[in-house]
Amino acid sequence: MSSLKLLNKAALKDIQGIIISGYGHLPYAGYLFLTLSDTVKAKDWLSLMIPRITVAQRTEGSGGKNEPEYAINIAFTNTGIEKFNLPFVSGFSEEFTEGIAEEHRARRLGDDGNSAPELWEIKEKNIHLLLMIQAPSASLLKELSDEIAKQYQEYGITEGAPSQHGFQPADNKEHFGFTDNISQPFIENSPANPNGQQSCVRAGEFILGYHNEYNLIPPTPTLKAEDDLQGNLPVLYFDNKLKDFGHNGTYLVFRKLYQDVAKFNAYLEANTRDQAHRDLVAAKFVGRWPSGTPLVLSPDADNPDIKDKNAFFYMNNDAEGMKCPHGAHIRRVNPRDSLGADPIQSLQTVNRHRILRRGIRYGERLSGVRDDGADRGLLFVCINADIRRQFEFMQQSWMNNPKFADLYNDRDPITGNNKDLEDDTGAYDMTIPSTPVREKFKGMPRFVHVKGGAYFFLPGIASLYCLAGAKRPD
pLDDT digits (tens, 9 = 90+) for 400-450: 999 999 999 999 999 999 988 766 666 899 999 998 889 999 989 999 999
For the chain, give the percent of residues with pLDDT over 70. 95
Of 333, 336, 355, the residue nearest 347 (C-alpha): 336
Burial class (CB in 10 A: 0-12, 13-18, 19+), 219: middle
Q: Average per-residue pLDDT in the chain?
A: 94
Phi, psi of 244 (to 5 degrees): -95, 95
Q: Say what the pLDDT of residue 420 is.
A: 84
pTM of the model: 0.96
**Is 133 domain-assigned?**
yes
More confident position, 198 or 301: 301
**Is 474 domain-assigned?**
no
**Is 318 domain-assigned?**
no
For the chain, give the percent of residues with pLDDT over 90. 87
**Where do the DSSP E strands lie in 327-411?**
356-357, 360-362, 377-384
pLDDT digits (tens, 9 = 90+) for 106-152: 999 999 999 999 999 999 999 999 999 999 999 999 999 999 999 99
Q: Say what the pLDDT of residue 2 is.
A: 42
pLDDT of 197 over the 80 cut: no
**Where do the DSSP E strands lie in 274-376?**
356-357, 360-362
* Cα–Cα distance for residue pair 313/310, rounded to 1 Å: 9
Binning pLDDT at 50, 70 and 90, where does residue 10 land? Answer: confident
- With beta carbons less than 8 A apart as the criterion, state whether 295 and 328 touch: yes
**Is 182 domain-assigned?**
yes
pLDDT of 66 over the 80 cut: no
**Is 419 domain-assigned?**
no
Number of H helices, E strands in the chain: 13, 20
Q: What is the domain extent for residue 72?
A: 3-255+453-468
Task: Give me the mean pLDDT over the 205-231 stretch.
Answer: 96
**Is 268 domain-assigned?**
no
**Is 348 domain-assigned?**
no
Total domains in the fold of the chain: 1
